[in-house]
């Protein structure tokens, strides 16, 4: 149930790309992948080649003892934010300030005073949804929402997970010409059938020739 780094990085990449493409104010965003950001959080040396002042906002999601948190840097405004799905502590807010200052200075930014705050936000009600919440926080930041607010019921969290998954699927390569059972290419002589839930295509024969007069749901969606 815990989101992996690959999922978090891929989703952040999609959202940042959309922000840079659609932002009417001409602002620019980027993100630091979870592996690099976690290294920075743990006082490691950053090998990232970046000029922070090229961006209005820099997002970074940290994995600290199997728990995801979000750090947001605003280099031009000399401030940062720290958001913890379980709630922030004074220690971690101070740590966020220190690692942000150290990172920006290492990239040539002359910042002596740096402000850090934690905007109000929903808190995760379970032990496995921190990744989902960190991504929702990042999404809200990029949307410039004045109040970070989203549903946190069990059903709502399941829907958030589903939206993350479908967003990533929609941004993958076109696999519509490949059978999702045997991975063979589509041809004009083979009968195909699609799952009514995920819209993935299969050879009718690969699935044991299920009835075609009613809806079909693949094994992955059942």
pLDDT digits (tens, 9 = 90+) for 8-18: 999 999 999 99
* Average pLDDT value for residue range 136-148: 92
* Average pLDDT value for residue range 79-96: 97
Q: Taking Cα atoms as reference points, which of 217, 211, 179, 213 lies closest to residue 197?
A: 217
Q: Taking Cα atoms as reference points, which of 21, 17, 103, 115 lies closest to residue 62?
A: 103
pLDDT digits (tens, 9 = 90+) for 168-214: 988 876 656 777 777 676 666 678 888 888 878 888 888 888 888 88
Q: Which pLDDT band, with edges at 50, 70 and 90, does 145 fall under?
A: confident
Give the separation between CA 205 and CA 195, rounded to whole angstroms.
14
The answer to whether residues 85 and 99 touch, using CB atoms and an 8 Å cutoff, is: no
Residues 6 or more apart from 167 whose CB is under 8 A from it? Answer: 11, 14
């Amino acid at each position: 149930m815990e989101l992996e780094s690959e999922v978090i990085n891929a989703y952040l990449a999609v959202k940042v790309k959309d922000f840079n493409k659609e932002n009417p104010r001409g602002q620019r965003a980027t993100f630091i992948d979870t592996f690099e950001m976690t290294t920075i959080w743990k006082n490691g040396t950053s090998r990232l080649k970046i000029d922070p002042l090229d961006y209005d906002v820099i997002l970074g999601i940290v994995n600290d003892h199997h728990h995801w948190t979000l750090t947001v840097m605003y280099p031009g405004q000399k401030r940062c934010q720290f958001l913890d799905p379980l709630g922030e502590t004074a220690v971690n807010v101070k740590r966020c300030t220190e690692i942000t200052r150290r990172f920006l200075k290492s990239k040539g930014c002359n910042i002596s005073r740096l402000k850090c705050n934690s905007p109000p936000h929903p808190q995760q009600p379970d032990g496995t949804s921190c990744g989902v919440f960190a991504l929702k926080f990042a999404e809200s930041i990029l949307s410039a929402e004045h109040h970070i607010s989203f549903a946190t019921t069990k059903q709502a969290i399941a829907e958030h997970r589903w939206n993350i998954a479908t967003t990533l699927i929609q941004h993958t390569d076109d696999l519509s010409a490949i059978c999702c059972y045997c991975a063979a290419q589509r041809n004009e002589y083979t009968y195909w059938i699609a799952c009514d839930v995920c819209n993935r295509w299969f050879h009718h024969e690969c699935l044991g020739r299920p009835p075609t007069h009613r809806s079909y749901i693949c094994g992955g969606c059942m």
